[in-house]
Amino acid sequence: MTDTLLEAVQVVARLAGDVALAHYRTALAVESKGDGSPVTIADREAEEAARAWIARRFPADGILGEEFGATEGTSGRRWLLDPIDGTKSFVRGVPLWGTLIAVAEGDRVLAGAAYFPAVNEIVAAAPGEGCWWNGRRA
């Protein structure tokens, strides 16, 4: 179990990013969403993994994900998920894509993380806890 939301967003970002990474540079079917942006099984599986982790550890929290929309919660907090930011780069094999995770209460962001699995880099921050890059204060 994680002790803080800053730790939790990093765990979720790494989990979802690593699920996506398992599909990176493989033959993927690319579909188009209603807005014309690409989506793959990697996007969907990464978001499903993140949702499952959050639901187990923070069952009262809501979730808003890019691929599966909103799940309401009762705590007043909501997790924001973009499993693969940069899907066009991802499907072309370019390592400039990442997994973006945040948790907010109303309009106030409580913690956020950006993980770039292809280069194993993570940046995370939370008010009062600072900004961290690969485990070091940034």
Taking every pair of Cα atoms in the chain, the longest distance, rounded to a whole number of angstroms, is 43
Q: pTM for the full model?
A: 0.94
Average pLDDT over residues 18-34: 94
pLDDT tens for 43-55 read: 999 999 999 999 9
pLDDT tens for 82-104 read: 999 999 999 999 999 999 999 99
Closest by alpha carbon to 115, among 85, 77, 89, 80? 85
pLDDT tens for 57-75 read: 999 999 999 999 999 999 9
Q: What's the Cα-to-Cα distance from 89 to each of 17, 38, 48, 94, 112, rounded to whole Å?
A: 14, 10, 21, 5, 22
Looking at residue 1, its pLDDT comes to 46
Looking at residue 2, its pLDDT comes to 58
Asked if pLDDT for residue 106 goes beyond 70, the answer is yes
Closest by alpha carbon to 110, among 131, 126, 89, 133? 126
